[in-house]
Each structure stands twice: as C-alpha cells, then as structure tokens.
C-alpha cells in the first residue's frame, strides 16, 4: 500500500501519472459517473503484472498533479470495503482483488488509495456498460489496460498490448503447472553442475566489477547478480533487451525493480543499462542487462540517503530480496528457458549497522548488529524450483543475511511479513 511519503514524493518528483499509479480528483462513491471512471482505472490496473494504485483526491490539470483531498464523508464512502467490493463486482469479471486505505498527508489533506492486485488466471473484463450522455465510459466486454506509450487507461488497441496480457496469463499458468508437478512428485530437469558458468560471465562484466561508485563514496549498497545457466552469449536479441526487462520489471511497492530511466539509458554492443542518480527522492541505483541474460544491479541503501547510515531496517532486506528473486523468475520466463538460474545478493558497507524494525507494529527486542562489512547469500537452482515459489526462496536468502546480524527469524515470521506487506 502506498504511504503518505510515497504519494508526496510521487507528486513532487514525478509530477504526473505513471503506468502503475493513477490519480483522480475528489468525488463521491455515490456519483455514478465518477464511480464508473474509478472502475475503468481499477480494471486496467488489475490487468498489469503487479497490479497498481488509484489515488483519489489528487487531480490533474494540464499534466500537473494538484492535491485537493477528500471530504470526511468521501473518505468514509471509499473505505467501506464491503460496499465497495459489492459495487466493483457489478462491473468486473472475474471480480477484482483489492485493498483500500485512507491516508493523511503532511498538509492535513486526506486521500484514499485503492491497491488493485493483478489477476491470476484470467484478465479482468468489464461486465457492465456505463454511458454518460454520448460518452461511453465503460463498454461491456472491454479489456482495459494501461497504455505503454502514455500512462492512461484504454481498451486493448494493438497486438502488443494483447500479447502482454496473454504473456502474464501464460506465465502464471506455467508457474501453477510447475508447482503442481513438483507437489505431485514429478521431477523436472535438474541443472548439471558441470554446465554452470562463472568465468564467461565474469569476463562479460569486467568493467562493471572494476568500477563501483557507491563503494568509492562509502555508501552501503546492494550488489545483485542474476545469471541464467549455462552461459550463452546471445540468449537474448540485442534489440529485445529493453522490452524483455520492461516486461519483467517488478512493481510490488514504491520503486520498481529495476527502474528504467529512458533519459539515463546506456547502450553497448551487448548490453543496456541505467545509472540513476539521487534527486529529491532517496533512491539511487545502477543496472546492466546483457544479451546473455545476465542482470547486474546496484542500489544504495535507503537509510544511507536519509541520514541513518548506521542502521538498516528488516524490510529493506526482506522486501528487496523478494523483488530480486521475482525478477529472476520473470527473466527466466522471458528467454529460451535456461536450465537453471544463479541469484547472488551481496550487502556491502554493512559493518557496524544496527538492524531496526521501522514498523510500530513489529518490535525487535535486542541489539542486532553485524561486524561484517560484506554479507552474501546465493541460490543456484533449476528454473522449475525458482518458478515454484520465488517468495519462499527470498525468505531463505533474507534469513541468511539476517543471521549475519545475529537475528534468528523463523521462516514463518518472515513469510508472514512478506505476504502481508508485499504479496497479499
């Protein structure tokens, strides 16, 4: 769910809607025209891979976001989950899965955030038409999506948009099949240790390994390596790299993983990349994607950018690794399926850091601090295992790193936190 800070940063730094975040000015849930507009937006968000958000109470004038806020009565209407669910069910087939929350911003204004969860088996179609005069707001049977070229809701208008929806459905079905096969005892093809590649990948990433700007600036940061196995130099077409990464990008919370900044795009003969500098928002990252399928990602720890370089919250470890493993799973499905995948996560600049909760509902009852400057965790496994339960693998990796702080969390505790905050 978007927080007040994330909403305010979006308004200040981005200043317009994005593909996964749509803003609507204030309005009542009893206003049929306004409600139909919200339904249209909700349907399109639910047809994205990771779903999306509709924020009520923020208008847009001449492509500029204007904070207006909702009245107390409007907030009450939009946060009545049972009533809202019943109204949405009239217009959506299959029914939408969503959460809703009232958020108070620092200005005192109140907005409501609708978080739409992505479909699992079948995309959501519009089940009921609504017209306002000559304006067709909702068309029965329509498949609404978020346009790739411009962040707005529209009906599927091209084979590109239709292919994206079908790809999501197909990949979801494949994961379900793999999970079912594994639970039934069917052994899918394992990866042979002899086929694992290291030297070829290291040569490919020499320039990346040689220069680490974040280490030079003594910033704590993540260093991620994702490698399909075995090594194939031309596993992906060079001209398909950006499309593959855009379709694999993970949007489970505020910043996508990775963030694709077109203004900062770097191009090489066998790779693309981005170096995203810190601006007004506490976020800085670098990444590269090669035609071999190797993906490299560095991201500065959030707390280093907000004046708390001696701390790291539990969620920074658990949530980011959840996004990284999910990204690896999606990349594996976006190429000729490799035999296996290696995912390595290294936390650099960790020495002396204190592990904190940063969640008023969850408390750490001891002083958990690491003495190691570098903490590393790795999984190396067949793609079938990666696709079965990426979330559980992320918990395994997070647990290994947290033990470096002396924090012995159980799988159940981490999984519960993960599903409640990210995967619900």
- Is residue 141 located within the same domain as residue 239? no
Task: Give the residue, 63 or 352, on which the prediction is more confident.
Answer: 352
- Is residue 224 located within the same domain as residue 89? no
Asked if the structure places residue 275 within a domain, the reply is yes
User: Could you give the C-alpha distances from 146 to 42, 62, 161, 384, in angstroms and in order?
Assistant: 10, 20, 9, 30
Work out how many domains the chain is built from and give that number.
Answer: 2
Asked if the structure places residue 82 within a domain, the reply is yes
- Is residue 336 located within the same domain as residue 210? yes
At 139-153, the pLDDT tens digits run 999 999 988 777 888
Query: Is the pLDDT assigned to residue 389 strictly greater than 90?
Result: no
At 299-340, the pLDDT tens digits run 999 999 999 999 999 999 999 999 999 999 999 988 877 889
| Among candidate residues 163, 186, 217, the one where a domain is terminated | 163
The strand pairing partners of 273, in sequence order, are 266, 288
Q: Which two tokens stand for residue 113?
A: 């955030």
Q: What pLDDT is attached to residue 196?
A: 62
- Is residue 210 located within the same domain as residue 344? yes
Asked if the structure places residue 144 within a domain, the reply is yes
Asked if the structure places residue 378 within a domain, the reply is yes
Asked if the structure places residue 169 within a domain, the reply is no
Q: What pLDDT is attached to residue 226?
A: 97
Q: CA 354, 358, 363 angle in degrees (round to 5)? A: 85
Q: Which two tokens stand for residue 180?
A: 């079912």
- Is residue 268 located within the same domain as residue 407? yes
Q: ω before 94 within 30° of 0 (cis)?
A: yes
At 253-309, the pLDDT tens digits run 878 999 998 777 999 999 999 999 987 788 999 999 999 999 999 999 999 999 999
Rounded to whole angstroms, how far apart are CA atoms 293 and 201? 10
- Is residue 11 located within the same domain as residue 79? yes
Percent residues over pLDDT 70 in the chain? 95
- Is residue 233 located within the same domain as residue 142? no
- Is residue 126 located within the same domain as residue 209? no
Rounded to whole angstroms, how far apart are CA atoms 362 and 413? 11
Point out the least confidently predicted range of 95-99, 163-167, 218-222. 163-167
- Is residue 257 located within the same domain as residue 307? yes
Q: Which two tokens stand for residue 309?
A: 């370089």
Query: Is the pLDDT assigned to residue 86 strictly greater than 90?
Result: yes
Task: Give the residue, 229 or 121, on which the prediction is more confident.
Answer: 229
Question: In terms of pTM, does the model score above 0.75?
Answer: no
Domain extent at residue 373: 199-423
Rounded to whole angstroms, how far apart are CA atoms 385 and 393? 9
- Is residue 129 located within the same domain as residue 253? no
At 356-372, the pLDDT tens digits run 987 767 778 789 999 99
- Is residue 314 located within the same domain as residue 374? yes
Asked if the structure places residue 124 within a domain, the reply is yes
- Is residue 284 located within the same domain as residue 368? yes
Asked if the structure places residue 412 within a domain, the reply is yes
At 180-220, the pLDDT tens digits run 766 666 555 555 554 567 889 999 999 998 999 999 999 99
Asked if the structure places residue 43 within a domain, the reply is yes
| Among candidate residues 112, 146, 163, the one where a domain is terminated | 163
Q: What is the CATH number of the domain that holds 140?
A: 3.30.950.30
Q: From its phi and psi, is residue 189 left (phi > 0), alpha (psi between -120 and 50) or beta?
A: beta
């Amino acid at each position: 769910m978007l927080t007040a800070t994330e909403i305010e940063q979006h308004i200040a730094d981005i200043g317009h809607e994005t593909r996964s975040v749509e803003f609507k000015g204030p309005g009542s849930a009893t206003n049929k025209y306004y409600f139909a507009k919200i339904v249209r937006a909700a349907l399109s968000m639910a047809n994205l891979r990771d779903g999306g958000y509709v924020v009520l109470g923020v208008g847009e004038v001449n492509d500029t976001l204007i904070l207006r806020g909702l009245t107390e009565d409007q907030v009450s209407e939009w946060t009545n989950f049972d009533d809202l669910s019943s109204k949405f069910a009239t217009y959506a087939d299959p029914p939408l899965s969503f959460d809703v929350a009232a958020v108070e911003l620092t200005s005192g204004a109140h907005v409501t955030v609708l978080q739409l969860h992505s479909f699992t088996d079948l995309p959501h179609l519009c089940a009921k038409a609504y017209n306002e005069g000559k304006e067709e707001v909702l068309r029965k049977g329509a498949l609404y999506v978020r346009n790739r070229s411009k962040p707005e809701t529209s009906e599927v208008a091209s084979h590109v948009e239709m292919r994206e929806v079908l790809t999501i459905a197909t990949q979801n079905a494949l994961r379900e099949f793999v999970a079912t096969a594994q639970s039934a005892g069917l052994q899918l093809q394992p990866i042979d240790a002899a086929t694992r590649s290291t030297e070829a990948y290291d040569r490919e990433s020499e320039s990346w390994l040689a220069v680490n700007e974040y280490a030079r600036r003594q910033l704590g940061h993540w260093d991620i390596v994702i490698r399909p196995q075995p090594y194939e130099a031309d596993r992906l077409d060079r001209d398909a790299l950006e499309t593959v990464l855009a379709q694999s990008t993970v949007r489970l919370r505020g910043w996508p993983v990775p963030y694709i900044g077109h203004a900062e795009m770097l191009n090489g003969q066998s790779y693309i990349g981005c170096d995203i500098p810190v601006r007004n928002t506490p976020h800085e990252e670098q990444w590269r994607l090669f035609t071999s399928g190797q993906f490299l990602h560095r991201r500065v720890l959030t707390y280093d950018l907000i004046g708390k370089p001696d701390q790291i919250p539990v969620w920074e470890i658990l949530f980011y690794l959840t996004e990284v493993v999910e990204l690896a799973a999606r990349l594996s499905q976006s190429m000729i399926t490799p035999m296996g995948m290696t995912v390595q996560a290294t936390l650099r600049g960790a020495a002396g850091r204190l592990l904190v909760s940063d969640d008023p509902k969850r408390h750490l009852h001891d002083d958990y601090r690491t003495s190691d400057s570098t903490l590393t965790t790795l999984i190396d496994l067949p793609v079938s295992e990666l696709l079965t339960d990426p979330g559980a693998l992320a918990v395994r990796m997070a647990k290994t790193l947290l033990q470096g702080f002396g924090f012995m969390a159980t799988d159940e505790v981490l999984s519960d936190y993960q599903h409640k905050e990210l995967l619900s």
